[in-house]
Protein backbone atom coordinates (compact mmCIF):
# COMPACT_ATOMS: atom_id res chain seq x y z
CA UNK A 1 0.00 0.00 0.00
CA UNK A 2 1.24 3.50 -0.83
CA UNK A 3 0.36 6.89 0.62
CA UNK A 4 0.64 9.60 -2.03
CA UNK A 5 0.79 13.23 -0.94
CA UNK A 6 0.42 16.28 -3.17
CA UNK A 7 1.72 19.57 -1.76
CA UNK A 8 -0.22 22.35 -3.49
CA UNK A 9 0.28 26.10 -3.11
CA UNK A 10 -2.86 28.14 -2.54
CA UNK A 11 -1.48 31.47 -3.83
CA UNK A 12 0.58 32.67 -6.78
CA UNK A 13 3.81 34.66 -6.39
CA UNK A 14 1.82 37.94 -6.28
CA UNK A 15 -0.34 36.70 -3.39
CA UNK A 16 -3.48 35.99 -5.45
CA UNK A 17 -5.40 32.85 -4.53
CA UNK A 18 -5.62 30.26 -7.28
CA UNK A 19 -9.12 29.53 -8.65
CA UNK A 20 -11.02 27.01 -6.53
CA UNK A 21 -11.94 25.12 -9.73
CA UNK A 22 -8.35 23.83 -10.02
CA UNK A 23 -8.60 22.19 -6.59
CA UNK A 24 -12.20 21.00 -7.07
CA UNK A 25 -11.38 19.34 -10.40
CA UNK A 26 -8.36 17.55 -8.90
CA UNK A 27 -10.41 16.50 -5.85
CA UNK A 28 -13.09 15.00 -8.10
CA UNK A 29 -10.60 13.23 -10.37
CA UNK A 30 -8.62 11.69 -7.49
CA UNK A 31 -11.76 10.66 -5.59
CA UNK A 32 -13.19 9.03 -8.72
CA UNK A 33 -9.96 7.16 -9.52
CA UNK A 34 -8.97 6.08 -5.99
CA UNK A 35 -12.33 5.94 -4.20
CA UNK A 36 -11.32 8.45 -1.54
CA UNK A 37 -9.17 11.43 -0.67
CA UNK A 38 -8.04 13.28 2.44
CA UNK A 39 -7.49 17.03 2.19
CA UNK A 40 -5.52 18.81 4.91
CA UNK A 41 -6.90 22.31 4.46
CA UNK A 42 -8.40 23.60 7.72
CA UNK A 43 -5.06 24.92 8.91
CA UNK A 44 -2.97 25.28 5.74
CA UNK A 45 0.68 24.46 6.19
CA UNK A 46 3.53 26.79 5.42
CA UNK A 47 6.34 25.62 3.15
CA UNK A 48 9.72 27.34 3.04
CA UNK A 49 12.58 26.82 0.64
CA UNK A 50 15.67 28.75 -0.30
CA UNK A 51 16.56 29.02 -3.98
CA UNK A 52 20.29 29.03 -4.70
CA UNK A 53 21.87 32.32 -3.57
CA UNK A 54 18.53 33.93 -2.71
CA UNK A 55 16.35 34.64 0.31
CA UNK A 56 13.84 32.03 1.55
CA UNK A 57 10.49 31.80 -0.24
CA UNK A 58 7.27 31.00 1.65
CA UNK A 59 4.17 29.18 0.38
CA UNK A 60 0.83 28.51 2.03
CA UNK A 61 -0.06 24.99 0.99
CA UNK A 62 -2.80 22.40 1.18
CA UNK A 63 -1.99 18.68 1.18
CA UNK A 64 -4.04 16.10 -0.71
CA UNK A 65 -3.54 12.45 0.30
CA UNK A 66 -4.67 9.23 -1.29
CA UNK A 67 -3.89 5.58 -0.61
CA UNK A 68 -3.44 3.05 -3.37
CA UNK A 69 -2.08 -0.44 -3.93
CA UNK A 70 -0.52 0.47 -7.27
CA UNK A 71 1.23 3.57 -8.60
CA UNK A 72 0.77 4.46 -12.25
CA UNK A 73 3.82 6.65 -12.94
CA UNK A 74 2.38 7.93 -16.23
CA UNK A 75 -0.79 9.19 -14.51
CA UNK A 76 1.20 10.89 -11.78
CA UNK A 77 3.52 12.57 -14.29
CA UNK A 78 0.47 13.83 -16.19
CA UNK A 79 -1.14 15.21 -13.02
CA UNK A 80 2.15 16.80 -11.96
CA UNK A 81 2.68 18.55 -15.30
CA UNK A 82 -0.92 19.76 -15.35
CA UNK A 83 -0.70 21.11 -11.79
CA UNK A 84 2.63 22.82 -12.49
CA UNK A 85 0.98 24.52 -15.46
CA UNK A 86 -2.29 25.41 -13.67
CA UNK A 87 -0.53 26.64 -10.54
CA UNK A 88 2.32 28.37 -12.38
CA UNK A 89 4.98 26.40 -10.51
CA UNK A 90 8.43 25.21 -11.56
CA UNK A 91 7.91 22.16 -9.39
CA UNK A 92 5.00 20.54 -7.54
CA UNK A 93 6.05 18.06 -4.90
CA UNK A 94 4.24 14.74 -5.04
CA UNK A 95 5.65 12.03 -2.83
CA UNK A 96 4.88 8.40 -2.23
CA UNK A 97 5.52 6.46 0.96
CA UNK A 98 5.09 2.74 1.30
CA UNK A 99 2.76 2.09 4.25
CA UNK A 100 1.25 -0.83 6.12
CA UNK A 101 -2.28 -0.54 7.46
CA UNK A 102 -2.75 -1.76 11.03
Give, in order, the Cα–Cα distances in Å from 94 to each of 16, 23, 33: 23, 15, 17
Helix (H) or strand (E) holding 80: helix 73-86
pLDDT for 32 = 93
**What is the CATH classification number for the domain harbouring 28?**
3.30.70.120
DSSP per-residue letters across 7-26: EEESB-TTSPBPPHHHHHHH
pTM: 0.82
pLDDT for 90 = 86
How high does pLDDT run on average in the chain?
87
Question: CA–CA separation, 69 vs 76, rounded Å?
Answer: 14
Residue 101 has pLDDT above 70, yes or no: yes
Residues of the domain holding 26: 2-98
pLDDT digits (tens, 9 = 90+) for 23-60: 999 999 999 999 999 998 765 666 655 666 677 666 78
The tally of domains found in the chain comes to 1
Amino acid sequence: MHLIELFLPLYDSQGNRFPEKIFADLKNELTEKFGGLTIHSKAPATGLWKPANDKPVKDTIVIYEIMTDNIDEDDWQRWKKQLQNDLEQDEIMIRSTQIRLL
